[in-house]
Amino acid sequence: MNDSVPAASSPSAASASASPENTLKRGDIKVLGLSALGGALEFYDFVIFVFFASVIGQLFFPPDIPEWLRQVQTYGIFAAGYLARPLGGIIMAHFGDTLGRKKMFTLSIFLMSLPTLLMGLLPTYAVIGLWAPLLLVILRIFQGAAVGGEVPGAWVFVSEHVAPRHNGLACGTLSMGLVGGILLGSLMSSAINHAYSVEEISDFGWRIPFIVGGVLGLVSVYLRRWLHETPVFAEMQQKKTLAAELPMKMILREQRPAIAVAMAATWVLTAAIVVVILMTPNLISGLEGLSRATVASANSLAIVAVCFGCVISGYMVDRIGAGVTMALWSGLLGVTYWVFLTTMHSDPSLLIPLYCLTGFSVGIVGVVPSIAIRGFPPVVRFTGLSFSYNVAYAIFGGFTPIMVAAMMESSPLSPIWYVGALSVMGVVLGLWLAVNPRGREMMNVSH
């Protein structure tokens, strides 16, 4: 039996898949399009800070402090957004499981867009003194809380809107939108740096990406008005089968195996995103024949490849199952990153094709949400996914750069071993989900 389709149907499954066709319906395409667009804009709003961190550090802290302290404080404010993700995600997920997916789906992008817009309008230290960094960190915390609810909320929203046979494609398409937000931030940064001088960027240019992101985000809030509540939640609401107690209490008592699986899959995801996409440009810049500009261009192309990988891996989930796809894509990630990084030390001329191939394997991020969603029943799905994903990402995503940097003291190829070890774990996890009776049963919980 294929783990991509539930073994037993339920009323919610029937209501979500009344049509016998194997193609997405027009309404499904609208949901996926608006959700992916909103996700891209929200992730753009979240990451644009890091592209202008040095300018922000100069403008929002006292001019006479040491440069190292300025950098620490600036990136500390950036990190505050990550620290707020689990708490914000859990709170929003609670109300998503009790009040409705759509309400939280709309609230999350509003909580991201408004702070982003206000950041672009915020007075600097020269105008309001210490209030400047204080207000900046408060706005950053709101952003973190918003993205903590947006990512799992969006995955749940799209997966419950489409038929079960399109669950993987829906999650993969939404993941493509989220990754696309990182690319939008990179492109906006390049455009600003090409259009304005250093003085102009410091004067007003840095504000443009925040204002644009905030305005477009608010437009996306308006567009989400045209989305409807998911059929799964609407049916639970109609039949009065919503959680009878705190969803968080229920998942900690009854869904611990699903939490463990979702957190393990998220750990593999963090290795793919944090190491391969975010850390690798710094790891290979400076190698013979590789300038920072060249590596940055290759990184942008690799992110485009990630987007394609997300959609294709999601499609494969629907065809051959989530477990098998997880195993295959994990193996692909480990092998391609090993080939890529070892080749860069011997033949940098293959940078672009190999980085794009490796980026395609990072498309494993399109598989992870399908696995995590399938393990939790609808009544606590939002809370289960949000808790597992956000806590795992905060822990593993936060400590991965420190761990990899420490490992590199002994070997410059340590990132290969780190990604390789997690790829092996991903293969084992995928095969367990595909062939073990308990794993197959877990993949059949949803819908």
Residue 53, Cα to own-chain centre: how many angstroms?
Answer: 21
Spell out the domain ranges in the chain: 26-225, 248-447
Most confident of 29-38, 192-201, 281-290, 420-429: 420-429
User: Structurally, what CATH architecture does the domain formed by 26-225 represent?
Assistant: Up-down Bundle (1.20)
> What helix, strand, coil percent values describe the chain, rounded to 5?
85, 0, 15
Please compute the mean of the pLDDT values over residues 71-92 and round it to a whole number. 78
pTM for this prediction: 0.81
Please compute the mean of the pLDDT values over residues 61-90 and round it to a whole number. 77
pLDDT at 263 over 60: yes
CATH fit for domain 248-447, picks 3.10.20.440, 1.20.1250.20, 3.40.190.10, 3.30.70.260 = 1.20.1250.20
- The least confident of 20-29, 71-80, 198-207 is 20-29
Provide, rounded to the nearest whole percent, the portion of the chain with pLDDT above 90: 30
Most confident of 147-161, 284-298, 330-344: 330-344
- Helix segments in 275-413, DSSP class H: 280-284, 292-320, 322-344, 351-361, 368-374, 381-392, 398-407
Between CA 105 and CA 109, with CA 106 as vertex, the angle to 5 degrees is 95
* 26-225 and 248-447, same CATH topology: yes
pLDDT in tens, 12-22: 333 333 344 45
Distance between CA atoms of residues 306 and 273, nearest Å: 10
pLDDT in tens, 271-310: 998 889 888 887 887 677 777 778 888 888 999 999 999 9
* Residue indicated by tokens 């990179």: 186
pLDDT of residue 421: 95
Q: Give the number of other Cβ atoms within 10 Å of residue 336's Cβ.
A: 22
Band of pLDDT at residue 26, cut at 50, 70 and 90: low
pLDDT in tens, 127-139: 999 899 899 889 9
Distance between CA atoms of residues 118 and 427, nearest Å: 44
Please compute the mean of the pLDDT values over residues 264-275 and round it to a whole number. 92
Q: Give the number of other Cβ atoms within 10 Å of residue 1's Cβ.
A: 10
| C-alpha distances out from residue 288 to 109, 275, 343, 347, 416, Å | 43, 21, 12, 9, 19
